Amino acid sequence: AALNLGMLFLLVDSGLYVRGEARKKLHAAAEHNGFPMVGIGEFLDIAEIVQRHHLSFPETPIA
């Protein structure tokens, strides 16, 4: 949905909801569209991740 709305999203790969082939496809789509991906352990560093991504893609507004 975020992609269709032109919104940035952060993919948190926890492995809880999406597994197997669907997980691989989600990873590929996120990577193809330049969306940052983090593991569950990195989730607490979300502010730093958003800032780092914004520096790489300054045309993307931070909400």
Domain count across the chain: 1
Residue 27 lies in a domain: yes
* Residue 36: how many other CB atoms lie within 10 Å: 19
Task: Please state, for a pLDDT cut of 70, what percent of the chain lies above it.
Answer: 76
Q: Mean of the pLDDT values across residues 12-24? A: 85
Q: Which residues constitute the domain of residue 26?
A: 11-56
Of residues 28 and 9, more confidence is placed in 28
Residue 39 lies in a domain: yes
Residue 44 has pLDDT above 70, yes or no: no
Strand partners, 39: 13
Residue 31 lies in a domain: yes
Residue 25 lies in a domain: yes
Whether residue 40 contacts residue 9, with contact meaning beta carbons closer than 8 Å, is answered with no
Of residues 26 and 51, more confidence is placed in 26
Residue 1 lies in a domain: no
